[in-house]
Amino acid sequence: MVYTEFVSAEALVRSIKSTMDKLTISDEERPVGIQIYGRDIDAMVEAAKIVEEAKPDVIDLNFGCPVKKVAGKGAGAGMLKNIPLLLDITREVVKAVNTPVTVKTRLGWDCNNLIITELAEQLQDCGIQALTIHGRTRSQMYTGEADWTLIGEVKNNPRIHIPIIGNGDIKSLENADRAFERYGVDAVMIGRATFGCPWIFSHQELTLDEKIDVLEEQLRINIERIDEYRGILHTRRHLAATPVFKGIPDFRQTRIAMLRAETADELMAILEDCRERLR
């Protein structure tokens, strides 16, 4: 299952074109969730109704994004400082749409406020259909190791009957297997580990050439489905993050060139140069 990039509720309500474009779903991607964030009840409800028209399989409420420009304004993980409002938003969105509503959040705001065990029950009472938990607090951002202990506690709470999805530091199939076995989660969510590694979900071990082929295909598909300019913007961050090219001496300059590339031909030429340098 895949999720869209999270979408601002306020921008949806204002019909900002670049935001509305993020609601485009290909049937090949299903099942797919569209994730929204915001801090205003009316805007979140209206945004959820707009999202429902795109016919996603679920509408996901993001109460977990830790970045300053989101959490610092009270949205994303910032909602963990205002639980009554978080619950009101969830309750009202669930009532407003027929599409299943899910939530993604964190363990709490900081290590002194690890509230997820109680919050999970409260969210379930609001009518959500599944809960994704990232094993860090907001104050941790993405530092340190994800703590799955409380995720397991939520999953093993006899009062919890909705699916619990674990998130944080799943970087391989082995990590995923261990999460299922040790904590009993119903699913795992993989985020940053996919950057430049779309084959992470495959049981098949790809050769170096095959991995570069996949990255080139990713670029072509993004350009085809969006346009050249935005397709390149969307892809080059992934290309620059991939571990495939780590064996190239002085890769820093090549990475900078990838991040500055403005045409498909330019980016493809860099990829082919990397292929040759790794042989």
Residue 156 has pLDDT above 90, yes or no: yes
Task: Report, as an integer, the average pLDDT of 80-95.
Answer: 97
- Which of 147, 168, 194 represents a domain boundary (last residue)? 194
CA distance 83 to 70: 16
Report, as an integer, the average pLDDT of 171-176: 90
* CB of 94 closer than 8 Å to CB of 101: yes
Sign of CA dihedral 120, 123, 124, 125: positive
Q: Is pLDDT above 90 for 201?
A: no
Complete DSSP assignment for 129-173? SEEEEESS-TTTTT-S----HHHHHHHT-TT--S-EEEES---SH
252: pLDDT strictly greater than 90:
no
- Average pLDDT estimate for 230-236: 89
Catalytic annotation on 65? yes
**Residues 184, 208 share a domain:** no
Same domain for 72 and 189, yes or no, is yes
Provide the pLDDT for residue 45. Answer: 98
Among 194, 223, 250, give the residue marking a domain's end: 194
CATH number, position 205? 1.10.1200
Res. 5 pLDDT band, cuts 50 70 90: confident
The predicted pLDDT at position 249 comes to 85
Q: Are residues 50 and 134 in the same domain?
A: yes
Report pLDDT for 202: 83
Specify the residue for token string 């993989």. 190
- Same structural domain for residues 90 and 218? no
In CATH, what number is assigned to the domain containing residue 90? 3.20.20.70
Q: Are residues 186 and 210 in the same domain?
A: no
Instruction: Using alpha carbons, select from 250, 255, 133 the residue that is nearest to residue 183.
Output: 133
Regarding whether 244 and 128 lie in a shared domain, the answer is no
Query: Quick check: 238 pLDDT over 90?
Result: no
CA torsion, points 210, 180, 121, 78, in degrees to nearest 10? Answer: -40
Domain check: are 233 and 186 in the same one? no
**Among the listed residues 97, 98, 133, 102, the one whose alpha carbon sits nearest the alpha carbon of residue 115:** 133
pLDDT at residue number 137: 94
Strand-strand pairing, 130-134 and 164-167: parallel
- When mean pLDDT is compared over 156-170, 192-206, 235-249, the highest value belongs to 156-170
Return d(Cα 94, Cα 59) in angstroms, integer. 9
Q: How confident is the model at residue 225 (pLDDT cuts 50, 70, 90)?
A: confident
Residues 230 and 93 placed together within one structural domain of the fold: no
Beta carbons within 10 angstroms of residue 204's beta carbon:
6
The Cα–Cα gap between 254 and 240 comes to 9
Per-residue confidence (pLDDT) for residue 133, from 0 to 100: 98
Q: Each residue of 190-199: pLDDT tens digit?
A: 998 999 998 9
Q: Choose, from 65, 126, 197, 274, the residue flagged as catalytic.
A: 65
What is the residue whose two structure tokens read 């407003």?
Answer: 96
**Do 9 and 82 belong together in one domain?**
yes
Q: Predicted confidence band at 151 (pLDDT cuts at 50, 70, 90)?
A: very high
For the stretch 11-36, pLDDT in tens is: 999 999 989 988 988 888 899 999 99
Check the CA dihedral 69-75-103-134 and report its sign. Answer: positive
Residue listed under structure tokens 């049981």: 203
The pLDDT of residue 21: 86
Checking if the pLDDT of 205 tops 90, the result is no
Per-residue pLDDT for 148 more than 90? yes
pLDDT range class, residue 146, cuts 50, 70, 90:
very high
Residues 44 and 159 in one domain: yes
135 in the same domain as 78: yes
Per the structure, the count of domains in the chain is 2
> Which of 143, 164, 194 is where one domain is finished?
194
Range of the domain at 131: 2-194
Strands (E), the chain: 2-3, 7-8, 32-37, 58-63, 101-106, 130-134, 164-167, 187-189
pLDDT at 203: 80
Mean pLDDT computed over 7-14? 96
Cβ proximity of 128 and 120 under 8 Å: no
Q: What is the rounded average pLDDT for all residues in the chain?
A: 93
Looking at residue 153, its amino acid is: E
Do the Cβ atoms of 137 and 109 come closer than 8 Å? yes
Q: Which of 201, 202, 195 is nearest to 218 (CA)?
A: 195
- Same domain flag for 187 and 231: no
